[in-house]
Each structure stands twice: as C-alpha cells, then as structure tokens.
Amino acid sequence: MVRKLRVGSRESKLAVVQSQIIIDCIKKHHPDLEIEFITMKTTGDKILDKALDKIGGKGLFVKELDKALIENKIDIAIHSLKDMPMEINKELPIIAYSKREDPRDVLILPKDNLELNPDRPIGCSSLRRTLQIKKLYPDMQIKPIRGNVLTRLDKLDQGEFSALILAAAGIKRLKLEERITKEFTIQESLPAAGQGILAIQGRKGEDYSFLSCVNDNESEIAALCERAFVRELNGGCSSPIAAFATIENERIVLNCMYEDGKKMTFYDEPRNAEELGRFAANYKTPSKGKVWLVGAGPSDPELLTVKGKRLIENAEVVVYDRLVGDGILSLISKKAKKIYVGKESGNHAVRQDRINEILLEEACKGQKVVRLKGGDPFVFGRGGEELELLVKHNIPFEIVPGITSSIAVAAYNGIPVTYRDFCSSLHIITGHKKKDEPLDIDFEALVRTKGTLVFLMSVASLKDICEGLLQAGMKPTMPAAILENGTKAHQRKVISTVSELSLAAEKAEIKSPSIIVVGEVCSLSDKFSWYDKNVLSGCKVAVTRPKELSSKLSELLREKGAEVLELPCIVTERIPNNETLYSCMKEIENFQWIVLTSPTGARIFFEELSSYRVDIRKLNQLKFAVIGKGTSQVLEDKGIYPELMPKVYQGKELGGILSQSIKEGDKILIPRARQGAKELIEELSKTKCIIYDIPTYDTLYQESMSELEIEFENAEIDYAIFTSASTVKGFAQAHKNLNLKKVKAICIGQKTKQTADEYQMQTYVSKEATLESLVECLEQQFQNKEQSMLNT
C-alpha cells in the first residue's frame, strides 16, 4: 500500500467538507498513511453567470481534477457523484463509492420566513427539479441560480429569491440542517442519479484496495443502476431525467423519471443493476413503444423466466391467451391494460390478424406491450406471424422464450420425453386441424423415427392421430398418454396404448388443454411420478394477504405441492407527510414503549425511522410489545427482540399484559393502521399511561380478477387463506357477485374466522396464529376432503 496519499478536490467549502469525510475514514483504517489534501478551482466554479448546460455541462467540474490525476499530481479525486458526467475517462475509473447521505431535495426559505413569497421566484439550477417543483408549486416562478451552497444561501437571504431547492446531502454535511424548511419525499422530487453519494476517482491499473474501508456496496449498486439509466438516455444537466435506486428485500428497486415527467418503478436482482438501468431507459421512449413476446410456460408461475416475470410486472399493456395460468395473470400490475385474445378449438375470441393489429396499435401509442403466450412463443404459438406487422412498421420487439408444455407437462407427469433405453429423438407436432379437413401429418415418417412423439393442441384430433399412427405401422401396444391441465393442481393423466387411448380418454372425459405423448417413455410414468406425491398436490389455494407479505406463505404452500394463486385483496399505503409521527420520531428517546401490531406496521415504522434520519441507537432504552410472530420477526431482523408478545395474538390480550408492565406516566407509541382495532386502546386507557396512537398506513381494498369468481363457484379453487379480518372484508368487497357460501376459508385466528362466518363462508381456523399453523390447518382439511372422496 502507498505510504503517502495525495487527495484532490474542488475548493468549495462543501467539497472540502465532503473530502474530509473520506479522508477521516481512510485515516481511521490506515493511521500510518500520510495524506496530503490538494484543492483547486474548476472551470465550473469559475463561470457562474451562465447556465451549466450552456458552457459544457458537468464535465467542467472534473476537468482540472482529471488533468491532475493524469499528470500524477494527485492520487485520487473526490467528487459529488451527481456532479460527474455520465461518460468518464476510461483511464480514470471510479474506484469507490461512499455510503449515501440523505438523497432527498429540500426547500429552504429565507431566515425568519415561514412561507413562500409569490412576488419572488424559487431559485433552482436543475431542469430535473424545475419540472417536478412546478407541479408542487404551480403558481410560483422558478429562476436559475448558480454558485456554491453558501453563495446561494446569501442570495436567498438578501431577498433575490423566495426559496431555494437544494440537495439535503450538501446541507446536512455543512451542518446547516436548521435552514431546511421542508424535506420533499422521493415521490415529490425524484433525486438526480448519484445524489448523496461521494465518488472516489483514481488511475486505471493502480492498487486502491486500501479504499475498501470507504466503499459502500449498496451505494455502488445504486450508482451503477442510476447512471446506466441516465447514460442510456444520453442524459446530463440539460435533461430533466432522474433516477433513484434502493435495495429492498434483497432486490434493487429503481424509481426513474423521463423527459416528459412520467415516473416509473422497476425491480431486479442487485447483480443486474446496470442491466436494469438500461432496461428502464429503453422501456420508455417518447416516440414509439415496444413489444415483448413472452412465453408464459405451461401455467405454473414458478416456471416463468425471471425476465418474463419482470416484464409482466412492468408492462403497460398485456395481451394474453387462454392458456396463461391464473398465477401468472396475477403478476400483472393493476395499472396495466389487459386485453384477452384467447382461443379455443373452433372458437377464436379474436382473429389472429386482429391480434397482430392490436400489438401494433398499442405500441404506436407509445405503450410497452407484453404479448403473453402459453408455453413458448415460437412453438406453435404463431409468434412469427405477430412479428411480421411489427417489423413492417419498425416497431422494436424482443422475444422471451418460455418452457414449452411438450416437455414440462410430460415431466410433471413422470414422463421423460427422452430416455436412452427407449428412444434417440423427440418430435413435437401440432394436432390442430381445420374443420372438416384431414390432419396434414406424415404418420409413416413419424413412425420410422422410433422417437417420442408429442402432439400439442390435439384433444379434438386424438382419435385421428391414434388411427393414423396405427395405419402407418405403429404397434398397437405402444404406450401412449394424454395429459390434462399439466403443472396445475388438478392435472390428470390417462396412460394407455395407442390402440386404446382414444376410448380411455373419452371415458375419463379428458378436455383441453391437454397434450398427447406417444412412445415407450410413457411406461415410466408411474415409476417416475412425483408431482402427485406431495401432501397438497391437487390443491389450488388463493392467498389473499397483501402482495408484499405473501411470498413466505406462498413458499410454504408450494413446498407441499399446492398450486398457489396470489390474490391480494387489500393493499397498504403509507400515510404521507405524517407530521404527528415526525414529532414523535424527533423525541423517540423520551418514550418508554413502542407497540407494533402487524408486520406491515413494523416495516413502515422502521422505514419512517430511516426516512426521518433517526438513528436507530435512539431506541436503545425503549421496550417493544408486539402482536404475532410475523411482527416479531421484523424486529428480530433489526437485531431487536420484543419484551412482550401475548400468547393469543389479539389487541385486547396485548393491552392486558402490557397494562401490567407499564408505569404511571409512561409514554407509549403505537404506530399502526388507521383502521386499527379499538380493544388495545380500551385496555391501555384503564392505566395512567400517555398513549400516542398514530396512524401510519391505510388499508385499502383491491379489485380482483372477475374471472376467478367462476373458479370459486365451480370449486376449481379449493381454499382461500385469510390472515386477517381485513383480508376477509377485502375479498368479499372484491367478489360481490360470488356466492360466498361456497368459499372454504382457512383463517389465522378467531377474529378472522368470526369475520368469515359473518359472510357465511365455510370456515376452518388454525391452532396458532402463525403461517406454519395455517398451512397445517389447510393440510388437515385437504387430507380429510381427499379421504372423504376415496370413501365415496
């Protein structure tokens, strides 16, 4: 490691303060290292009478420092990442990223002023901020302002402006927090790419491993994603675009704004940070839209590709087929336009040429269109036909392959389509034929291959297919199978021979969608059968809890073989600009107890704690009381273990045991849903404590997919799982036309069961108020049902 380090920086006070943060970190971890600090005035600092985009952009803030690095006058340069150009000298890479300071924008009024003066403009040097601030203050004028932070504040206090819009990071690093009048939320004013992050630049090929003490992994991931988005759009100081990325629940969330002011959110794995930024940039273009042909696979949402899932969740328009599974359709955003173009044998809801036109029309509106097709788009999916019109009109498109049912459905029924002892080839054939016309299949050629034959779209042609194979010389005893609803809970199979399969399928009343498999491999089905051996195989379950909470429960159910349909009936929305909560947060150390009544309430509490920049160490002396293991788990993930949790997970029970533990005058903070149950407060009100019952989120009902009502009516969905009384109410609200007496409801506790009983559902309650106990309850009821069917 070098023994002397020369650090370069701009000479403004903020730049010096920011550089000192990095220098102090390096000194702490490398006390023997001698550090020389060198400052210089850049061209961008010298020219203050012209807008930045008129004199060369952000590159003017790094030009002199770049030169100093190249000439070996300094060893590293420290910059505000948002002030760096998107394209940097490849010989001078960014080698470390600091932990991010508050990324938000803030409003600052002149000293001793409490409100905006409409006769003076707001000072704002950024087109990005200007575009967003105009929406917040439509009656105010906005005027450009240059200079460093202190210079701008002087101009403000001298009366040139009614307010300034600045970055919170710079204000807080200068210890000027008292000047902040309002902190805009990320939704109100989306930050510039890299805002709040310090970037350390060095020379290519040199050893900077000692800077690992500075580099923050989350900041690096966010920076790569944000800058990739801006760079892909050729953005800079002259473009009103914005990007802000965070890591949440082990995935990267990118919020971005385009030149027209439209904002969107995208998700991916952190390792795909730059790819996500580029994807988001190309996803929204001002001129024309784009079409993605996405293979939905056979039906099981867990067989969907990662890319396909991301596209479906972010699509503005989804054009989908009949064979796309309910679980996959539930991934579509509520904001997206859904267009059904499904086809059945002899009944085309929409003609193929019209489907082609729909894709073109929606793309020409500037929409991002996902054409969602069962299986793979190019395996008898007519994907090529749908591309012809797009190519003719220069509409950009992508193909996302899917798992074809010819392989997946066979596998789910224990049939390996290739097996060394039986065959050396696989052939996929369409069994579809035009009305009153014979099948256009060379059966003799197929028989000669001695390979496995898989016929798709073939239920109506089953008899003709079997006869054609027999007439072409296939032995009558050749094993054959017809597989219905493959990969779904209620999948069925008929294993027979080519000579007997048609009659066997007719007797079993096999219907579409089904595939036909012919070959010796069908004899392995019973031996290799696996799907129907899981405890919940054959069970289709609707999970009704909010989308952000459903993953663990869905995982537990799928592990036991259930087909899971995530059907969130409620959505939680954080209450914005929560001044009452903010007042409590500022004095959090003066409370004795914090009461959290749900996982959502706990999650939002910590999010707000972070949003208000409250140091978690201020919770050191506080005690926590919670309802439920899920809520406790949110705390435990933060390294905090609750002092109280009732055995019965109800507000009244918690209020009772908490009343025995609190002292007179104790201050209790209860951040929870606006619609929170009264019993908790009624119990605590019997004591002489001071209660702050503060709503932090609203619970709203979600609309459901109306087509699912038919599945409940026909008992195709076996059970619905409810984790709270609100999910029951949300379900009832979303399915007003459904006879709720037909719904078998698995409930997490007595209060949930009581609400379901009020709607006359068939109710079952878990022994404990845990997800594991819920699954056990479902398992028991399903086994009882299966046994009852066997007995009859």
Sequence-distant (≥ 6) Cβ neighbours of residue 617 within 8 angstroms: none
Q: Which of 321, 376, 666, 718 is catalytic?
A: 321
Contact (Cβ atoms closer than 8 angstroms) between residue 7 and residue 74? yes
Residues near 351 by beta carbon (within 8 Å), at least 6 away in sequence? none
Q: Out of 343, 368, 540, 753, which one is annotated catalytic?
A: 343
User: Edge to edge, what strands does the sheet with 142-143 contain?
Assistant: 142-143, 122-123, 163-167, 105-108, 182-183
| Integer CA distances (angstroms), 427 to 265, 445, 591, in order | 42, 11, 71
Query: Shortest CA distance to 203 belongs to which of 72, 36, 20, 27?
Result: 72
Answer for the pair 683, 656: CB distance below 8 angstroms, yes or no.
yes
Enter the tokens of residue 709. Answer: 């009502």
DSSP state of 650: S
Structure tokens at 741: 């007496």
Long-range CB contacts (< 8 A, 24+ apart) of 686-690? Answer: 686/659, 687/659, 687/662, 688/664, 689/662, 689/663, 689/664, 689/665, 690/665, 690/666
- Rounded distance, CA 328 to CA 313, Å? 10
102 noted as active-site residue: no
In what order do the strands lie in the sheet containing 4-10? 34-40, 4-10, 76-80, 198-201, 94-97
CA–centroid distance for 144 within its chain: 37
Instruction: List for the chain the helix, strand, coil content (%; round to 5).
Output: 40, 20, 40
User: Please, which residues have CB within 8 angstroms of residue 407's CB and are 6 or more apart in sequence?
Assistant: 417
Q: How many residues does the chain have?
A: 792
Is 440 annotated as catalytic? no
CA atoms within 13 A of residue 260's CA, in its CB half-sphere: 8
| Distance between CA atoms of residues 551 and 557, nearest Å | 10
Q: Helix or strand or coil: residue 510?
A: coil
Residue 384 carries which side chain, given as an amino acid letter? Answer: G
Asked if 131 contacts 91 with a C-beta cutoff of 8 angstroms, the reply is no
Separation between Cα atoms, residue 622 and residue 642, nearest integer Å: 10
Other CB atoms within a 10 A radius of the CB of residue 82 amount to: 24
Active site residues: 321, 343
